[in-house]
């Protein structure tokens, strides 16, 4: 479409009816079939929007007024939600959020995966859609008046001051407020990304079993200013903190933690339970941030695996072994494969910590390692895959199908890449039997899925 044919102009206001939400939670409407994205608008609403930018195939607009509001519009629990990039759809009731996410999974599975809509089961919603995150990593910066702790403004690295995050567990919010007060009282400086000056970069909190907290103070400087005072005041004012670390991150970039870390006080690890298993969590460990929903997702994966005690299972992207160890409780043998060596070491420790002896872990590329296992005579009954957002490589999919398991259980954090992979697996002899969406991250547009694929009958 040429610029002459674009039906909207910047700085002019138009009436739109919103039909859907985009992947970042923005409302999607149209002017003469020309797509316009409007942050803050909800499906079913009629709005007035001023055009901000007009491209060849779409435009973006700013919400001016709501003429007809959605029945699911609500007042957000957080006063800075529209500026902060953490919560995208907290102005939508939880019922409305679940409906949007379930609809998205169905649409993508039909459009990309070539599946029947009826294969998608009702979404599994959260019993607690607020204050659910057990991990916090708050950036710290410096302004004229002093240090500022908060979250980044959407699409930028400007820190918005915040004293309490509505999706964080309250123990993490207490740590956030303590750190803000401590740095202000003692005139400690936050880090300036542009100049590289200042000391404290992030405050990280992790909440384990029984509300115990691990605190990690991340600095750009080699030494933590007032290290002993951090420890003594934190112990006095935050009795739930049982572990304190100092991490050094002196390199520019978005990585929160650096490689150098110093244990200042207390326990070296937290214990976090999941599905009846106990996991030791360090500052560097991966652990699910929404425990009840992770348990629900794993239980569904186990149900799809349909284990009876003697099966051989491959967990092709095992990470630190959480799903593998859950599977091992019901299988005969579990083989976990993960390309990240540090994650495999954690998986081995977690197996020993839980006295599980029928799970073995290998640091390898699943696409290369699975064919070797097949050549050695291994015939898995079930293969479980939980890849990163990019999904599986075709090498891994071919290797998995080539081993001819009776069932493939696919856990995904990106329904679009899962749908793509499901279509590839269909060509390799596996059909989608069922897909269950799981709302792991309420107030955001993210949705997890767990799916069962079975071998096609010849």
Query: Which residues are part of the catalytic machinery?
Result: 413
For tokens 């699975």, the residue is 370
Q: Please, how many CA atoms are within 13 Å of residue 367, restricted to the half-sphere of its CB?
A: 9
d(CA 215, CA 226): 15
In this structure, the number of other CB atoms found within 10 A of the CB of residue 328 comes to: 24
What one-character DSSP code corresponds to residue 423? Answer: H
Q: Which residues sit opposite 275 in a β-bridge?
A: none
Cβ-in-10-Å burial (0-12, 13-18, 19+) of 128 comes to: exposed
Residues near 231 by beta carbon (within 8 Å), at least 6 away in sequence: 244, 264, 265
d(CA 389, CA 412): 7
Question: Is residue 441 within 8 Å of residue 90, measured between CB atoms?
Answer: no
Q: List the one residue out of 183, 223, 187, 185 whose CA is nearest residue 203.
A: 183
Burial 414-425 (b: 16+ CB within 10 A, else e): bbbbbbbbbebb
Backbone CA torsion sign across 247, 250, 254, 258 = negative
Sequence-ordered list of residues with C-beta below 8 angstroms from that of 454, at least 6 positions apart, any chain: 406, 407, 408, 430, 431, 433
- Rounded CA separation 17/349 (Å): 54
Helix, strand, or coil (residue 347): helix
User: Burial level of 145, CB count in 10 A (0-12/13-18/19+)?
Assistant: exposed
Dig out the tokens for 387 from the structure.
Answer: 């890849």
Q: Residue 100, Cβ neighbours under 10 Å: how many?
A: 20
Q: Outline where 240-336 has alpha helix (H).
A: 291-305, 322-328
Instruction: Show the tokens assigned to 385.
Output: 């895959």
**Residue by residue, what is the 3-state secondary structure of 155-190?**
CCCCEEECCCCCCECHHHHHHHHHHHHHHHHCCCCE
């Amino acid at each position: 479409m040429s610029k002459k044919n674009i039906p909207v102009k910047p700085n002019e206001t138009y009436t739109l009816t919103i039909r859907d939400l985009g992947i970042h939670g923005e409302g999607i409407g149209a002017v003469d079939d020309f797509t316009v994205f409007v942050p803050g608008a909800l499906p079913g609403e009629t709005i007035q929007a001023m055009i901000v930018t007009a491209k060849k195939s779409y435009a973006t607009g700013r919400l001016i007024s709501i003429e007809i509001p959605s029945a699911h519009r609500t007042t957000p629990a957080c006063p800075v939600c529209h500026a902060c990039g953490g919560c995208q759809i907290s102005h939508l009731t939880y019922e409305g959020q679940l409906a949007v996410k379930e609809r998205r999974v169905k649409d993508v599975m039909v459009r990309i995966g070539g599946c029947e809509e009826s294969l998608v089961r009702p979404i599994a919603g959260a019993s607690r859609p607020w204050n659910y995150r057990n991990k916090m990593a708050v950036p710290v910066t410096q302004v004229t008046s002093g240090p500022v702790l908060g979250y980044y403004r959407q699409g930028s690295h400007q820190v918005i001051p915040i004293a309490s995050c509505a999706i964080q567990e309250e123990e993490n919010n207490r740590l956030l407020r303590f750190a803000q007060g401590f740095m202000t009282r003692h005139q400690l400086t936050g880090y300036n990304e542009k100049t590289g000056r200042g000391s404290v970069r992030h405050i990280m909190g992790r909440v384990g079993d029984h509300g115990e907290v691990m605190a990690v103070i991340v600095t750009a400087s080699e030494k933590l200013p007032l290290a002993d005072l951090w420890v003594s005041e934190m112990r006095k004012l935050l009795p739930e903190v049982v572990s304190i670390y100092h991490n050094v991150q002196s390199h520019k970039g978005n990585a929160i933690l650096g490689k150098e870390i110093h244990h200042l006080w207390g326990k070296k690890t937290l214990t976090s339970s999941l599905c009846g298993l106990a996991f030791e969590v360090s500052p560097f460990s991966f652990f699910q941030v929404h425990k009840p929903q992770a348990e629900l997702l794993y239980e569904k994966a186990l149900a799809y695996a349909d284990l009876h005690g003697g099966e051989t299972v491959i967990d092709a992207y095992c990470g630190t072994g959480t799903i593998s160890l859950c599977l091992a409780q019901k299988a005969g043998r579990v083989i976990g494969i993960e390309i990240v060596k540090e994650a495999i070491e954690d998986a081995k420790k977690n197996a020993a910590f839980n006295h599980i002896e029928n799970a073995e872990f290998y640091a390898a590329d699943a696409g290369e390692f699975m064919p070797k296992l097949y050549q050695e005579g291994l015939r898995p009954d079930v293969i479980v895959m939980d890849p990163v957002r990019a999904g599986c490589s075709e090498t891994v999919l071919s290797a998995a199908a080539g081993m001819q398991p009776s069932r493939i259980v696919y856990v995904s954090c990106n329904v679009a890449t899962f749908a793509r992979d499901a279509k590839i697996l269909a060509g390799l002899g596996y059909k989608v039997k069922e897909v269950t969406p799981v709302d792991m991250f309420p107030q955001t547009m993210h949705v997890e899925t767990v799916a069962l694929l079975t071998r096609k009958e010849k």
